Amino acid sequence: RSGRRGAVPACDLALATAVAGLAAAHALSFLDGELPASTGVRWEAALPLLDWRSERIGPHADCSCGAATGTEGAGASGSVPAQDTMAG
């Protein structure tokens, strides 16, 4: 073997592919003007059974970002009408 061993072991290829597909689907949902299922939650996936779990994450009251103060402006596209995102 040449080179040093990485500090973090590589992720399983099947799990990485599943997570990439889920991320792409959520991004497309956002681009279509809908809030994806990943909004405000943390998704966990485990092999070998591909068990998907979501856990709601609320804003931290002591954070200076202001997320805990209100929901004004929450939404992917607001009041903008939906558009087609696929050519054809």
For 40-78, how does the pLDDT look when each residue is reduced to its tens digit (9 = 90+)? 888 887 767 778 888 888 877 887 776 777 655 555 555
DSSP structure class, residue 67: G
H or E stretch at 29: helix 13-31
Q: Which residue has the higher pLDDT, 47 or 19?
A: 19
| Average pLDDT score over the chain | 75
Quickly state the pLDDT bin for 28 (edges 50, 70, 90): very high
Structure tokens at 15: 């799990």
Is the model more confident about 61 or about 83? Answer: 61
Asked if 14 and 22 touch (Cβ cutoff 8 Å), the reply is no
Burial of 67 (0-12, 13-18, 19+ CB in 10 A): middle
